[in-house]
Amino acid sequence: MMRWIAAGLCIGVLLTVTGCWDRTELEEEAFVPSLAIDAGPASGVFIYTFRIAVPRELTGSSSGGNQGGGSGGDTQKGSKAISVMARSLGEAINLTNSTVERRLNFVQCQYVLFGEELARQGVSLHLQDLLRFRQFRRTMFIAVVKGRAADSFKENKPVLESSVIRYLEGLQKLRRFTGMVPIVHLHIFARAVQSGSEDAYTSVASINQGVKEQDRRKNPQQQDSNEETGKESESPAEKQRSNESFRDQTVTYEAGKIRRVGGNPEEFPGAAVFRGDRLVDFLNGEEARLMLALRGELPHAFFTVHGPKGRFTLEVQEQGQPRIVRLSDGERPVWEVQPRFEVDVVSAAGAFDTRSHGGLVDMQREAEQWFDRQAERLVEKLQRDRSDTLRFGMHERRRFLTDAAWKSYGWRDRFSQIQVRVHSHFVIRRVGNQLVSSGMR
């Protein structure tokens, strides 16, 4: 008898509790891979833009052909953006769902963008929405868009990817390639905002108006023929536009201002630094990787150094956390930050002796001096902003035994008082495929 009851129970359970209660099918869901939040026309009102994935347009690999992921530049085909004005994220979701035929679902959401104006007003209200609603994950990435965040969806035309999901995943890897795109998870950002002993930063996205304009003026027929032949031939009109772009001869790492022709109108170098929950400043790409280096989080980067002997480029990998030494106490304590890098020489044009150890040591010194100067400038900038994104506070609080003692110390006011010296240590291990640069004029 018991066996029959057990068998009946097993069959009953298998038939009734294998699915979810409300029988939701995948075809009934509208997945939102990214969303943007901008300041609204009045206080307490915001513009929420949801980028909704169109599943049948998301197919294809990133490796080939004119279809799917391989064609590039058409993430707009794979997704549709809808903006709505609302007072909260929940309200925005409901309002949007009054026009979208499927239920918005954020379990696949990977990116949240804040508009610059909103970020300057403070993001804690929105952070609370994101941290509380169960569909959002703390592993999502967040960024600040210079200007309006919604424009980021409109102007974003990736070079290779057409799948919006693959594109977002690709962006996450940029941090490892250049160090200039310091991608940040929501968890890390929220932790820093809440901690009181450090400040937060995010990556930056910005529309390069020059490239956007070039993209707009491009002849559609020409574009089609290029796609067919797979070539990027340059017409006289394009040549003229290239010349216009490169008229300004300075190299810049600032998001939205990189001198270039072609590619995605949107670019990502730099960081947005916060004080508490408010955006206070932007760092350019070079400053962003210096910041990562001083935090001990720079996995890989190319540094180009110009000196009296010429210029050389180093491929650096940071070795662990920088040591922080307290050189003196008092009203204006002096700190020394000592980051360490393993280095390969990528290029050296000039009178450099890369054949001998002594020559490499000279090169190291030059690189160290350059790095220390730049990094100290960055520290001064962040002290002016009163934004401890370098996490010096986290180091300082080790000296205190209790929370009460640390709170009464008043780190926020003291942060801008400390004098910081940077003393980097570069160790060149390899010199590339050439021992010397002689014979080249």
Partner 1 sequence: MHTGYIGTKEARALLTVVLSASISLTLPQDLVFQAGAAGWLSMMISLAGGLVAWRLIARIAKMAPGRSVVQMAGMWWGAPGRYAVGIILGIYFLLITGLVLRAFVEMVIGTILPRTPADVVMFLFMVVTLYIAYFGLETLSRLSQLVGWTLLVGFLLLLLMDVGWMDVNYLYPLLGPGWAQIVKIGVLKSSYFSELLLLGLMIPGMRVVEDVGRVAWNAVLVSGVLMVLMVLGYTLAFPPPAGADNPFPFYQMARLVYLGRFVQRLETVFGFLWVMTAAIYMAAGLWGATQSLAQAWDLPVYRPLVFPVAVLVFGIASLPADYPQTTSLTNVYLRSWGWVMLLGMPAALWLGAVLNRRRRKEG
Closest CB 394 distance from partner 1, rounded Å? 4
Residue 421 lies near partner 1 (rule: CB under 8 A): no
Which residue in the set 213, 253, 302, 400 belongs to the binding site for partner 1 (CB under 8 A)? 400
Instruction: For residue 130, give both structure tokens.
Output: 């994101």
Closest CA to 301 of 255, 261, 269: 269
Residue 28 lies near partner 1 (rule: CB under 8 A): no
Residue 253 lies near partner 1 (rule: CB under 8 A): no
Bridging pattern class, strands 46-53 and 34-39: antiparallel
Closest CB 6 distance from partner 1, rounded Å? 9
Which residue in the set 351, 405, 427, 435 belongs to the binding site for partner 1 (CB under 8 A)? 405
Closest CB 413 distance from partner 1, rounded Å? 18
- Rounded Cα distance between 29 and 108, Å, is 11
Closest CB 82 distance from partner 1, rounded Å? 24
- Rounded Cα distance between 409 and 426, Å, is 35
Residue with tokens 């008082």: 417
Which residue's CB is nearer to partner 1, number 253 or number 409?
Answer: 409
The region of 71-79, 228-236, 371-379, 387-395 touching partner 1 under the rule CB under 8 A is 387-395
- Rounded Cα distance between 198 and 224, Å, is 50
Residue with tokens 């307290």: 326
Sign of CA dihedral 367, 372, 377, 382: positive
Which residue's CB is nearer to partner 1, number 132 or number 377?
Answer: 132
Which residue's CB is nearer to partner 1, number 126 or number 397?
Answer: 397
Which residue in the set 1, 14, 18, 21 belongs to the binding site for partner 1 (CB under 8 A)? 21
Which residue's CB is nearer to partner 1, number 139 or number 356?
Answer: 139
> In sequence order, what are the residues at sequence separation of 6 or more whose Cβ sits closer than 8 angstroms to the Cβ of residue 294?
322, 337, 339, 375, 378, 379, 390, 422
Which residue in the set 15, 22, 25, 413 belongs to the binding site for partner 1 (CB under 8 A)? 22
Binding mask 339-358 for partner 1 (x = CB under 8 A): --------------------
The residues in 134-193 that bind partner 1, with binding defined as CB under 8 A, are 134, 137-139, 169, 172, 185, 187-188, 190-191
Closest CB 389 distance from partner 1, rounded Å? 14
Sign of CA dihedral 362, 363, 369, 372: negative
Radius of gyration, alpha carbons of the chain? 26
CB of 291 closer than 8 Å to CB of 378 = yes
- Rounded Cα distance between 38 and 372, Å, is 37
CA dist 420 → 196, 338, 393 (Å): 21, 11, 13
The phi, psi pair for 318, rounded to 5°, reads: -75, 140
Task: Report residue 61 CA to chain centroid gap.
Answer: 24
Residue 394 lies near partner 1 (rule: CB under 8 A): yes
Closest CB 163 distance from partner 1, rounded Å? 13
Binding mask 194-233 for partner 1 (x = CB under 8 A): xx--------------------------------------
CA dist 58 → 67, 111, 377 (Å): 10, 17, 45
What type of residue is 99?
A: T
Closest CB 195 distance from partner 1, rounded Å? 7
Kindly tell me the burial class for residue 203, based on how many C-beta atoms sit within 10 Å of its own C-beta (0-12, 13-18, 19 or more).
buried
Which residue in the set 1, 14, 17, 42 belongs to the binding site for partner 1 (CB under 8 A)? 17
The residues in 277-336 that bind partner 1, with binding defined as CB under 8 A, are none
Closest CB 190 distance from partner 1, rounded Å? 7
CB of 109 closer than 8 Å to CB of 32 = yes
Closest CB 9 distance from partner 1, rounded Å? 8
DSSP-derived secondary structure letter, 97:
T
Closest CB 23 distance from partner 1, rounded Å? 10
Count of residues interacting with partner 1 (CB under 8 A): 30
Which residue's CB is nearer to partner 1, number 405 or number 435?
Answer: 405
User: Footprint of partner 1 on this chain (CB under 8 A)?
Assistant: 9, 17, 20-22, 134, 137-139, 169, 172, 185, 187-188, 190-191, 194-195, 391, 394-395, 397-398, 400-406
